[in-house]
Amino acid sequence: MEQKFTGFKCKSCGRVMYPKHDRCLDCKGTEFEEVELGEGATLLTYTKLYVLPEGIEMPPLVLGIVKFPGGVRAMGQLTTDDPKIGMKLRPVWGKLRKMKDKEIFGFKFEPLK
Ligand SMILES: [Zn+2]
């Protein structure tokens, strides 16, 4: 199933957030609409985790913070183990990890070709 990676735009002040918060971080508004964040997020920073929490089967885990064209930042797992600051990435839906017998799905970021 194809999932869309969207931001949540405050209907009062227009601030776009990801992930969704109960209240707008700026104006405390509670109504949001989903908006596309656009392709080609830029990698701002990343960290490699070599010591993984128990049950995670994909070492090394690379976590990055990306910034979308609209300015929204999101944190997520990267599919590359050779990330470069400033590289372009796109969100893809997939299996993140396996915890005990449960598979966790979510968005990760893959380099744009
Ligand atoms: Zn707001």
CA 98-8-75 angle, to 5 degrees, is 40
Q: Give the distance (Å) from ligand 1 centre to CA of residue 14.
A: 6
How far is ligand 1, taken at its centre, from the CA of residue 33, in Å? 11
23 CA → ligand 1 middle, Å = 8
pLDDT in tens, 17-70: 888 899 999 999 999 999 988 888 999 999 988 776 677 666 678 999 999 988
* pLDDT tens-digit readout, 82-98: 999 999 999 998 888 77
Q: How far is the CA of 25 from the centre of ligand 1 (A)?
A: 7
Does 83 sit behind a cis peptide bond, omega within 30 degrees of 0 on the bond before it? Answer: no
21 C-alpha to center of ligand 1: Å? Answer: 11
